[in-house]
Amino acid sequence: MTGVCDEVFIVTPGFSAPAHSFQLCGVTMERQVVQRAKEAFVSGRARVLEFRLQQLHALQRMLTEKETEICTALKQDINRSQYDTPLLELIGIENEIKLAIEKIAEWTAPRPVEKNLLTISDEVYIQPEPLGVVLIIGAWNYPWALTLLPLIGAIAAGNAAVVKPSELSECSSLLLRALLPRYLDKDLYPVVMGGASETQELLRLRFDHVFYTGGSTVGKLVMEAAARHLTPVTLELGGKSPCYIDKDCDIRVACRRITWGKFVNCGQTCIAPDYILCEPCVQSRVIECIRRTLLEFYGADPKCSADYGRIINQRHFSRIMNLMEGYTPVVGGQSDPSQCYIAPTVLKDVPPHSRLMQEEIFGPVLPIVTVSDMDDAINFINEREKPLALYIFSSNKKEVKRMIEETTSGGVTVNDVMMHYSLSSLPFGGVGQSGMGSYHGKHTFERLSHHRACLLRSLNMESVNLARYPPQDRRRARRAKMALRSPLIDMSKRTLIWAVVATIIGTGLFITLLVILLIAAGLNCTCWYWRGFYN
């Protein structure tokens, strides 16, 4: 989950590899890694179901055995609590691995489809198959989940995958590079380190899919680079996710849930509530409830709390501080550049067209924008880019339904925040400027698979095809039209179909037999009549 870009680069047709890129005989390290991944994929071992399961089990074992090291790395990167890392990342990854292991046989099996009269005797199905070599460009704010979740889907689908973690979460990226080759096939799933230059070099190469998590600025460049090879992309971007609070809801509970979602991971979450929309009459109460909740969560000085994180680096610290210029915080506002610390901050009466409301904040700053009513809130949301998430706090089911129907977003959660992300059965992804494509659970498998259309028929029953062959005449054309216009038949219900057919045939035979018996009885009566007549 991320939204603000980190690796800003331009891909140009005349681009040459940077001087610091490792080269051997004129070939960059990135090119060698990708070539090895392609050769490993062509070998066919990633397609074997048992191999995929073995790799997934190995990844599961890595998380179990190295949990302490992973938590330590994240503590060093963003001062994340050792208790938060399992809750925010590791358990979700483990659940996705377990789901893939449990369902992979079902996901990879041929999927029968409906037939018409022309194909009634054919074998017709959809076969999921691997795309090839996938490039996964991870993010720094949740460096394990946002890298490994796409990788789980890539492995389950039978692909090779080149993993490019973010250089900003340095400790996590170095640990990932050290661990992944120990547990997974190092040729099929290599890790490439580096920053913008290395990412640039990777994007010059041809992949079968590019999966990028980051900001929209870089997302556009990724899509532009992929377009040169007609490579499909999944872009998990960000945006300003609105949070509407109805004046009649339980504001205290709403503010507790919003406060957690906004300030966990120091606000560096792509689906964190970016701003609050509420009526002026409840703004003061919202502020007071958030203030009390912050005191409960992080104490009088969040800087001393083991549960409160830090901004990833000085550049992002300065960016967030600049966004707050000209405002007087009603909650928080303290900062310490030496620690990249910004206290949980709330700003009230923020103008709708201010700079703060034009770009994703991606930090622990929560603006409140007042609206006159729900109509005003809906208009406010629809006047802006489609967000990655929308949060609605209301006890009025009709109002909730109306807001969902009259707005659009990547996902929506009612009376809570971010929880839709935790459910593998729901697709996670953006719409419009907040991204394209979705993943999690089976949705990742589907995203990283090619759905191959298959129709298998025999060389028998050639007479059925005569209606489509030349020379054509009216009779043949009529037969062909009838066959083509025949409705689709769901052959998964063939037992029911054959039961109905058998019933019809049985009924027909019974009626035929009854008619024969009646005719025979009639003839018998006639014979007796004429015999009595002659006697």
Catalytic residues: 236, 270
Nearest Cα to 136, choosing from 42, 16, 222, 29? 222
Residue 272 near residue 262 (C-beta atoms within 8 A): yes
Coil, strand or helix at 259: helix
* Sign of the Cα pseudo-torsion (84, 87, 89, 94, in order): positive
Q: How many CA atoms lie within 13 A of 471 on its CB side?
A: 1
Beta strand extents in 62-164 (DSSP E only): 111-112, 123-130, 133-137, 160-164
Decide if 196 contacts 9 (C-beta within 8 A): yes
Q: Which two tokens mark 238?
A: 């960000």
DSSP-derived 3-state class of residue 456:
strand
Identify residue 321 by its one-letter amino acid code. M
Tokens of 355: 């700079």
Long-range contacts of 375-378 (CB under 8 A, 24+ apart): 377/242, 377/244, 377/277, 377/403, 378/402, 378/403, 378/406, 378/407
Provide the token pair at 63.
């998380």
